[in-house]
Amino acid sequence: MSFANYVWFAGVGTALVLSIGVLFIHEYLRVWKDHQAIAKRLQLKSLESRMDALASEASRAEGEQKKRLEERRRVLSMVYAQVKATPRQIQQIQLEQFKKVDRCTTCHFTVEDKGMMGQPQPYGGHPGAFLDWHEVQDFGCTICHEGQGLSTDYMQAAHKAIRIHGSERERPWPRGVQTKYLLQSSCGKCHLTKDVPYAPLLTKGRGLIEKAGCYGCHQIRLYEDLEKIAPTLDRLGSKVDRAWLLHWLNDPREYAPVTGEGLVRSRMPRFDLTKEDILCLAEFLMSSKDEQSLEEPPSGGNPERGGLLFREIRCVTCHTVEGKGGYIGPELEQITTKVSRKWAYNWLIKTHYFNPKTKMPQLDFSKEQAVDVVDHLWEEFGADQLTPPEGFQEAEESLKLSTEERMTRGEKLFSDKGCAGCHPRSGMEREGKTGRPLEKFAQMDEETLDWGKIDRFKIEPYVGNWVYMRLLNPRDLAPEGKMPHFSLTETEAALVALALLSDTGDKIPPKYLVEEKSSRYPRPPYPLPYGGVQGVEAQTVKEYPEPPGEFGRLVDRYRCRSCHVVFGKGGWVSTHPLDMEGSQVQEDWLRHYFDMPYSLRPILKERMLNLKMEPEEPKFFTEFFKTVSLDNSISPTLGSSLTEEEAQRGKGLFIKKGCRACHIVEGRGGFVGATLDKVGDRLTAGWTYAFLKDPQRYKPWAIQPDYGLTDQEARELTAYLMTLKDKGRVEKVSEHHQGGVGREGG
C-alpha cells in the first residue's frame, strides 16, 4: 500500500470516529436539559425566598395567624423537597381522554407555580387563574395553546412561524402555538355557548355571527337551528314604498347612514346587483300584497298627544331617533319614506298578526291612539316622497322585459343570492343555505380556498386571513362570488374570523363540553377565578320549558323575552333572569314598578318600557313572581334577623370597601353600578346577601367584584343597604296610583 492510501484510510477512520462522537454529544446536549436545569434553579431560589418571607412574617405574628403562616411555609417546603428530588428528565402529561401527549412541561417546568408568574419564558408560571379550573393534568397545554406537544425542541414544537420555500414571509403553521388574541378561539373548542367567560373576543365574535346572520347562508356550528334574522317579506308590496326598496337594494347603507359604525349601521349587506337585476327583484318582491288585512286609518289624529304617548312608552329604548336610542328595532327617522301611513297604523294595532316573530310587544293601542302616534311620526319626520336612485329612471325605460319575465328573473335572483337565508317568505322556507358550509373551519385546506387576485406569497395564506379579507372585501378574492359586502369594521371582521376558527373539528370528549343548555339555566357550571370551584352543580335541561298558561300569554304578548331571560331563554338586556325575580325584589316595589318603570343604572341606554298594562296585569305578574320565580337557596327571612348595630358597622364597611366608586348613594357616587339610594325598598335582604357573597351567581360576566366577604361582613353590608329607603315613597306611590296613570294615561 502506498503512503497516500494510509493517509486516506486514517482520514476516513478519524472522520467516522468524530461523527460518532458528535452523535453522542448531540444526544447528551438536548436543549430541554438546559431549560429544565435553569427553571429548577430559579424555582428553588424563588421558593427559598418565599419561605424566608413567610418565616419572618410568622415570627412577627401571633396565635391563629402564626399557625396559618407556618402551615403555608410547611407546604412550600414540601414543594421545595419535591422539586429538588425531581431528576432531570422529560416531563410529559398523558391525556387519555384527548388521546394526546404533551411534553411542554419539560421546558415549561414551573408553569403550575404561581410564585413564578412574570418570569421570562419558558420559566414563568401560567398567568391568571386559568390553571385553577383547567387542571394541567386534565387538559395539558396544546388543547388550548395548539402547537406540537410531543416535541421537546423549540422549532419542532411550532412555537414560531416556519419559512416556507419560495415565500417571502414566514408563515405560521396553521395550528402552531397560539398566544395573545387568537388564543381565545381555542376556548371555543369546548365552550359551545354564545358567551364564553373570560374570552371576550370570542364572545363578541360569536355575537357578531349571530347578529350578521352568517348562518342564513352558511352551515356553522352552534348556529344550526336559529330563527332567520330579517323580517318576513310577505306583504312587502303593501308595506314599503317602491322607490325606497330600490334605494335599499342598491345600497342599504345609504338608508341608515348616521347610526354608528360597522354592523350597527345596517345588517343588510350590499349585493352588487345591476340596475336591471334590482328592478326585476323589486318587481318580484312588490308582488306580495295583502290589502284585505289593512284598514284605512281614520283622519284627524292629534300629533301632540301622539308625541306624548311616544315618549311615555319609551319607544326609543328599541328604536333610534336622531342617532339616539336602542338598536333592537329599526330606526324611525326615515320611517315615513319607507312605509306607508296606512301600514304604520295597522302595524301598531296588529303587530303580532303581521309579524309573529317580532321582538316588539303588542301594545294595547286604541284606534285613536294609533292614529295619534302615526301622525306624530309623519309630522316629525316629514312626508316627502322618495325618488328612485340615480339612473334607475333610464334603466326602467330601457329594460325591455314584460312583467312576467321580470318576475321570473326576480324570483331566480331571490333564490340564487340566498335572500331566503335571512328573510322568511312563505313558500321559500327551505331555501337559503347558498354559501359554503363552514363546519370544521380551522381544518379547511388553504389550497382549496379561492384566493383570487391576492398574491399568496405576499401575505400569510392562512384560512383565518382568508375569511378576514373575504369579509372586508369579498370581490378581491372571488370576483364572481355571491358573498355580499357586509358593513363590518376591520375589528369586527377579525373577531368573526376568530370565532369561526374555534371550530377546529377536534374530537372533544363529551365530559369537557360546555353547552348552551347546561350553562345558563339555572346557573353556569364553570367555576370562577380565584374563587375556587363553586358548590352548585350545573343542571342540564334538554328543552327550555315554555312559560305556561296566563303567564305565558302575557310573556308572549309583551315580548318579555326580547330583553329578559324567562324560563331559561331570552335576551340579556336586563341584569338578571326573571326566573329568580321573586327572590330578588320586594313585592310592593314590583307591583308599582310596572306603573312607572325607571332605570336603575344612570348610564344604561336600554330602559324598561312603559307597557301600559291592564290594571290587573301588574298584580298578576307580581303574584306569579312571588310564588313561582324563586331561588330556593335564598333565605326569605334574613331581613328580620338583621340588627341596627349591624347596619351601623355595615355603613363603615361600605365606605371602607369603596362601593361609591361605582354606586350612587345619597346623590353621590359612580355611574357604573345600580343606584343604591332606594335599594332598601327594592331588593330583598336574602338576595342582597347572596349577591354580595357571590356576585357572578347568575351572570358570570357581572362587573361587581367578588370581595371575598365573610358571612358576618356580608350580613352587615346587607343590613346597611336595607336601611336605604325612600322616606316619602309610600305616600307618593299611592297618590300616583289613585291618579289613574294606568293604561289610559297621557
Binding residue (CB under 8 A) for another protein from 153, 312, 446, 515: 153
Query: Binding pattern to another protein, positions 86-105, x when CB under 8 A?
Result: ----x--------x-x-x--
161 binds another protein (CB under 8 A): no
Is 38 or 150 the residue whose CB approaches another protein more closely? Answer: 150
18 binds another protein (CB under 8 A): no
CA distance 743 to 588: 19
CA distance 587 to 578: 14
Binding residue (CB under 8 A) for another protein from 16, 23, 117, 703: 23
Nearest approach, Cβ of 108 to another protein (angstroms)? Answer: 15
Beta-carbon count within 10 A of 624 CB: 19
Q: Would you state the torsion angle of the CA atoms of residues 183, 188, 194, 198, taken in this order, to the nearest 10 degrees?
A: -40
Nearest approach, Cβ of 217 to another protein (angstroms)? Answer: 28
> Which residue, 86, 85, 37, 80, is CA-closest to 55?
80
Binding window for another protein (CB under 8 A); candidates: 112-120, 139-147, 151-159, 491-499: 151-159
Helical ranges in 129-274 per DSSP H: 130-133, 136-139, 142-145, 184-190, 200-212, 236-239, 242-250, 252-255
DSSP code at position 386? P
Q: Which residues, listed in sequence order, are joined to residue 125 by a DSSP beta bridge?
A: 117
Nearest approach, Cβ of 145 to another protein (angstroms)? Answer: 17
Q: Write phi, then psi, for 590 (nearest 5 degrees).
A: -60, -45
Nearest approach, Cβ of 702 to another protein (angstroms)? Answer: 43
27 binds another protein (CB under 8 A): yes
> Which residue, 555, 464, 502, is CA-closest to 222?
502
Is 151 or 408 the residue whose CB approaches another protein more closely? Answer: 151
CA distance 141 to 279: 57
Residues 586, 590, 596, 598: is their CA dihedral positive or negative?
positive
Q: Do residues 633 and 697 lie in contact, with contact meaning Cβ atoms separated by under 8 Å?
A: no
Nearest approach, Cβ of 151 to another protein (angstroms)? Answer: 6
Task: Identify the helix (H) or strand (E) that includes residue 541.
Answer: none
Burial class (CB in 10 A: 0-12, 13-18, 19+), 297: buried
Restricted to residues 51-90, the positions that interact with another protein (CB under 8 A) are 90
Is 163 or 553 the residue whose CB approaches another protein more closely? Answer: 163
Binding residue (CB under 8 A) for another protein from 83, 129, 131, 150: 150
Is 47 or 157 the residue whose CB approaches another protein more closely? Answer: 157
CA distance 624 to 628: 6
Q: Do residues 470 and 217 lie in contact, with contact meaning Cβ atoms separated by under 8 Å?
A: no
Binding window for another protein (CB under 8 A); candidates: 150-158, 269-277, 325-333, 644-652: 150-158
36 binds another protein (CB under 8 A): no
Is 163 or 357 the residue whose CB approaches another protein more closely? Answer: 163
DSSP code at position 492? H
**What are the cell numbers at 670?**
359612580
CA distance 454 to 456: 6
164 binds another protein (CB under 8 A): no
Is 31 or 536 the residue whose CB approaches another protein more closely? Answer: 31
684 binds another protein (CB under 8 A): no
Bridging pattern class, strands 100-102 and 162-163: unpaired
Is 146 or 372 the residue whose CB approaches another protein more closely? Answer: 146
Characterise 235 by phi-psi region: left (phi > 0), alpha (psi -120 to 50), beta (else): left
Count interface residues toward another protein (CB under 8 A).
12
148 binds another protein (CB under 8 A): yes
Is 27 or 644 the residue whose CB approaches another protein more closely? Answer: 27
Binding window for another protein (CB under 8 A); candidates: 147-155, 339-347, 611-619, 622-630: 147-155
Is 103 or 376 the residue whose CB approaches another protein more closely? Answer: 103
Binding site for another protein (CB under 8 A): 23, 27, 90, 99, 101, 103, 148, 150-153, 156
